[in-house]
Structure 1
Amino acid sequence: MAGAGDTVKVHYHGTLDSGEVFDSSLQRAPLTFTVGSGQVIEGFDDAVRGLAVGESVSVRLEPEQAYGERDPAAVMTVWREGAPEGLAVGDHLQLDNGLVVTVVGISETEIHLDLN
């Protein structure tokens, strides 16, 4: 049974209420983390506590158990010049500070990024 301080390896498949998949480890290596260390969001950490090796669980996380409520003000606009070729709406980019953002709009001169 997984408990605080245990290192675990898990596969996960994250979906939004709409059913859209926002992240999945199924096509890559499992996520490895130490339970209770703050390395993953609270709801994910809580979901694995008490699980045995090979056991699976489905959970629905509320915003406060994950990344918080969506902030409509957390959308920024940057100049398109110097952006990667072939960039499309829905693509994810990692900024220099490590933050992963979603491209939500592209014009001739600008790119709109969602930081939520």
Structure 2
Amino acid sequence: MQIKNDCVVAMHYTLKDDEGNVLDSSEGRDPLKFLQGAHNIIIGLEKAMEGKAKGDSFEVSIEPEEAYGVRHEQMIQKVPRSAFQGVDAIKVGMQFQAETEQGPVPVTITEVVDDVVTVDGNHALAGQRLHFSVSIEDVRQATEEEKAHKHAH
């Protein structure tokens, strides 16, 4: 069976950056399962899956626009430490939900200087070209329940 919309795909993968550093991998874990066409994975990888079948292996590079997007400098803001009431120790790397007019946005603290905290609302992989090595472990038709829920069970 070839991969198309409404198929459940099980894959193993290794994700690397431009320098060849491994950013993520399914090695040593169960294969990642997802519902093709439901945007459970980045769009560029979903597009690369089309037409593949169980047993196929491939490598693909995904540009930021079809991965986690380009970096937006307006997503980086300096806020007063007082915005973190109830948090005793504010450290670089901590993550919070910021309430915006568009709804909640996850932000990461990137700098703390005196009473000013810099937060970044960009995804950690925004602006990066991503390189995947993929092996397709299984492909099957999704159940009606999986289609309704828009994810693999």
Report whether the alignment pairs 1:42 with 2:48.
no
Q: Which moved more, 1:59-68 or 1:46-55?
A: 46-55
- Helix, strand or coil: the match of 2:109? strand
Aligned residues: 114
Gap regions ≥5 residues in structure 1: none
What TM-score does the superposition give when structure 2 sets the normalisation length?
0.56
Instruction: Give the Cα separation in 2 of the matches to 1:10 and 1:115.
Output: 29
Gap regions ≥5 residues in structure 2: 123-153
Instruction: Report the residue type matching 2:5 in the other structure.
Output: A
Say which structure is richer in strand: 2
What TM-score does the superposition give when structure 1 sets the normalisation length?
0.69
**Alpha-carbon distance change, 15 to 49 in structure 1, aligned in 2, over 3 angstroms:** same
Q: Which residue of 1 aligns with 2:134?
A: none
Alignment of 1:1-116 (within 5 A): 1-26=2-27, 30-78=31-79, 79=81, 81-83=85-87, 85=89, 87-88=91-92, 91=93, 93-95=95-97, 99-116=105-122
Say which structure is richer in helix: 2
Structure with greater contact order relative to length (CA < 8 Å, sep ≥ 6) = 2
Deviations 1:56-84 (A, max 9, x none): 32211112212322111111234255447
Aligned alpha-carbon RMSD (Å): 3.0
Instruction: Give the Cα separation in 1 of the matches to 2:24 and 2:94.
Output: 11
